């Protein structure tokens, strides 16, 4: 390490408030303010300039759209998850067919989740079949993302598989499915949602069911929501009252006592 008395990055002199340290990578004398970060996945102290130059994704970020899509299409390609992020950030709609193929061809749970999230962002109708199939994926986060995508894309043809997905054992998946059905305004799902509310005893899935019933509306939904005002869960009562106020403002004063 050099014998300089000032930081070789910012130029400030060393002092008690700004003690002298050393970068493990370039061996320069630097002050504590310029060595406050570590290089990811390493335990040695590094100066800011070394951190900025250490970029494992630089080549990927500088790749052309065609190169990104080629990387994504390669089943043995490295950093496919990061590639999905970049494809989304650059809004490369032409990558949708490759994303669909990659979803079918990978066993990596987190990569499948990223791909379904990307397909949700692109909202391309060609992805509907794989999104419906993803409702049965082995990984809960993939199932949740698929349900949310179908709801946001207003895929009415997905109502039936979404209703079946309400039987999912994972509460977060049930919540996402209920939200999707609410976005679809799926009247045919009203009674099924009511059964879910009775069958499940706790969890955010029940809250989303109540919210969905409020979005769907109709006489059957109002009947279920009215009964939910006596539920043991205060949030179920709250969301039921909120939904009923929106559906029938005439009873607002009486319903407000259930709000939190």
Mean of pLDDT values over 19-40: 77
The secondary element (H helix, E strand) that includes residue 194 is helix 190-199
Count, residues in the chain: 260
Flag whether 104 is in a domain.
Answer: no
pTM: 0.77
Helices (H) and strands (E) in the chain, counts: 15, 4
* Number of structural domains found in the chain: 2
28 or 174, which is more confident: 174
Residue 164 resides in a domain:
yes
pLDDT value of residue 214:
96
Domain membership flag for residue 174? yes
- Interval 82-94: pLDDT, tens: 999 999 999 999 9
Residue 106 lies in a domain: no
Establish if 128 belongs to a structural domain: no
Say yes or no to pLDDT of 19 above 90: no
Half-sphere exposure of 219 (CA within 13 A, CB side): 0
Give the pLDDT of residue 260: 53
Q: Which domain holds residue 227?
A: 157-260
- CATH number of domain containing 18: 3.30.40.10
Q: So what's the pLDDT on residue 231?
A: 95
pLDDT at 41 > cutoff 70: no
Residue 241's pLDDT is what? 92
Angle of the 171-184 helix axis to the 190-199 helix axis, nearest 10: 160
225: its two tokens: 């929501």
Over residues 123-152, mean pLDDT: 97
pLDDT band at 110 (very low <50, low <70, confident <90, very high): very high
208 located within any domain: yes
Q: Are 65 and 44 in contact (CB under 8 A)?
A: no
- Determine, yes or no, domain membership for 129: no
CATH value at residue 188:
1.25.10.10
Q: CA nearest 73: which of 53, 116, 103?
A: 103
Domain contains 60? no
Residue 55: pLDDT above 70? no
Say what the pLDDT of residue 248 is: 77
More confident residue, 237 or 46: 237
pLDDT of residue 1: 44
The CB-based long-range contact list for 27-35 (8 Å cut-off, 24+ gap) reads 27/1, 28/1, 28/2, 29/1, 29/2, 29/3, 29/4, 31/7, 33/7, 34/7, 34/9, 34/10
Listed range (22-36, 67-81, 102-116, 158-172) with the worst mean pLDDT? 22-36
- State the Cα–Cα distance between residues 17 and 21, nearest whole angstrom: 12
Separation between Cα atoms, residue 228 and residue 197, nearest integer Å: 9
Please tell me the predicted confidence (pLDDT) of residue 251: 63
pLDDT value at 3 more than 80: no
On average, the pLDDT of the chain sits at 89
Residue 13 phi, psi dihedral angles, 5° rounding: -75, 155
| Other CB atoms within 10 Å distance of the CB of residue 219 | 8
- With a cut of 50, say whether residue 202 has pLDDT above it: yes
Tokens of 185: 């305004």
**In this structure, what token pair is assigned to residue 176?**
């996402």
Give the C-alpha separation, 90 to 47, whole Å.
31
């Amino acid at each position: 390490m050099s014998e300089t008395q000032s930081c070789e990055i910012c130029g400030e002199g060393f002092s008690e408030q700004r003690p002298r340290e050393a970068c493990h990578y370039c061996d320069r004398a630097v002050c504590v303010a310029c060595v406050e970060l570590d290089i990811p996945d390493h335990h040695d102290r590094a100066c800011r300039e070394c951190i900025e130059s250490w970029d494992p994704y630089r080549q990927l970020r500088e790749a052309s759209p065609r190169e990104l899509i080629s990387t994504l299409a390669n089943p043995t390609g490295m950093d496919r998850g990061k590639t999905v992020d970049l494809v989304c950030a650059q809004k490369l709609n032409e990558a949708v067919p490759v994303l669909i193929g990659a979803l079918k061809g990978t066993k990596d749970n987190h990569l499948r989740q990223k791909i379904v999230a990307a397909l949700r962002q692109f909202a391309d109708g060609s992805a509907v079949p794989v999104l419906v199939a993803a409702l049965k994926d082995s990984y809960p986060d993939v199932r949740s993302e698929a349900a949310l995508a179908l709801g946001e894309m207003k895929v009415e043809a997905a109502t039936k598989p979404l209703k079946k997905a309400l039987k999912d054992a994972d509460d977060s998946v049930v919540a996402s499915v209920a939200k999707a059905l609410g976005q679809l305004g799926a009247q045919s799902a009203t009674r099924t949602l009511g059964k879910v509310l009775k069958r499940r005893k706790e969890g955010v899935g029940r809250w989303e069911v109540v919210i969905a019933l409020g979005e769907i509306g109709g006489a059957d939904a109002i009947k279920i929501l009215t009964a939910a005002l006596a539920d043991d869960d205060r949030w179920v009562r709250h969301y039921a009252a909120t939904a009923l106020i929106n559906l029938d403002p005439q009873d607002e004063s009486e319903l407000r006592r259930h709000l939190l």
